[in-house]
């Protein structure tokens, strides 16, 4: 028996909404057409996929859902592959405060043949969802568990992290600080703490506390806040250029040095044809720049680096 992809698409739509009418709106067909497609699919499979009345997936429907999604992704990828050579790879970045484009830009610029369109995602969950929907072809940022099934990723850079302080802070005169010296101190970030996996893990490992407030309005705003409040400190990538704002000091963190992990992520099934070349380009620049140097006696990574 061959699956009818129109019927499968109707099934996934209803499974997503648990509502025939809203699924019909998304699919831009009538509710009657959705009902007919679901009924035909159930007859073909010989099993009910939904309960009627209150719409719920049956046990058979729950088992069928993920393979159905995979079938649709494969069909969409097959369709897109015909025209893939004619369109650039759509690459989203996240972790904007830490400047992901600093790493992506030079890699792409070194390979003029790589047709890449750069966009932005809010965070890892948003980038992962966009990849699974097919809205983008690849994404770049810090990848950490849990990661949805169907996505592949490659670690491409480990970047040392400094402590940023205002000139009036007691640590501003230090040549370097150890993570243990931050125990009990509050690390401030202009973003919701529950979205900062690296910071949470660092604080758990070394006894610091994470605090957040206000909106992420960029590096200039972050540094202005540090300068205005001598009690505030934060973490920032060591290789990221800082705006010329007087009164801010970057202090190296040593014994161990925390490393921020940057990764490239893409759909496991039928990736865009440019993805392998992009992975190679990251690997080649990484080897030259020693982006993946790591010494467990000198450096620190979370227990499950991605």
Segment 50-94, tens digit of pLDDT = 998 899 999 999 999 999 988 887 876 666 555 555 689 999 999
Q: Is 67 exposed, middle or buried (0-12, 13-18, 19+ CB in 10 A)?
A: exposed
Asked if 267 and 139 count as a contact pair (C-beta separation under 8 A), the reply is: no
Q: What value does the mean pLDDT take over residues 173-195?
A: 89
pLDDT band for 252, please (50, 70, 90 cuts): very high
Asked if 212 and 189 count as a contact pair (C-beta separation under 8 A), the reply is: yes
Asked if 92 and 139 count as a contact pair (C-beta separation under 8 A), the reply is: yes
pLDDT band for 114, please (50, 70, 90 cuts): confident
Q: What are phi and psi of 299, to 5 degrees?
A: -115, 160
Q: What value does the mean pLDDT take over residues 182-198?
A: 85
């Amino acid at each position: 028996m061959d699956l009818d992809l129109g019927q499968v698409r109707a099934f996934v739509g209803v499974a997503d909404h648990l509502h025939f009418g809203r699924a019909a709106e998304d699919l831009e067909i009538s509710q009657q057409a959705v009902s007919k497609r679901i009924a035909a699919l159930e007859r073909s499979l010989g099993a009910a996929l939904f309960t009627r009345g209150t719409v719920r997936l049956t046990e058979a429907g729950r088992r069928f859902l993920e393979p159905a999604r995979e079938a649709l992704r494969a069909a969409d990828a097959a369709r897109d592959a015909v025209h893939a050579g004619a369109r650039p790879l759509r690459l989203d970045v996240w972790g904007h405060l830490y400047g992901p484009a600093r790493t992506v830009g030079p890699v792409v610029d070194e390979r003029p043949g790589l047709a890449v369109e750069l966009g932005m995602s809010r965070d890892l969950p948003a980038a992962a969802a966009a990849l699974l929907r097919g809205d983008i072809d690849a994404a770049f940022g810090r990848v950490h568990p849990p990661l949805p099934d169907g996505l592949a990723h490659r670690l491409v850079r480990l970047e040392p992290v400094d402590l940023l302080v205002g000139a009036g802070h007691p640590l501003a005169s230090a040549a370097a600080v150890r993570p243990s010296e931050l125990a009990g101190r509050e690390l401030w970030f202009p973003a919701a703490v529950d979205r900062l996996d690296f910071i949470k893990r660092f604080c758990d490992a070394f006894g610091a506390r994470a605090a957040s407030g206000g909106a992420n309005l960029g590096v200039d705003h972050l540094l202005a806040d540090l300068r205005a409040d001598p009690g505030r400190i934060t973490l920032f990538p060591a290789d990221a250029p800082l705006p010329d704002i007087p009164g801010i000091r970057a202090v190296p963190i040593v014994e161990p040095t925390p490393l921020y992990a940057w990764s490239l992520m893409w759909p496991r099934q039928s990736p865009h044809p440019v993805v392998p070349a992009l992975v190679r380009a990251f690997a080649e620049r990484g080897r030259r720049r020693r982006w993946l140097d790591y010494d467990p006696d000198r450096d620190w990574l979370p227990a499950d680096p991605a």
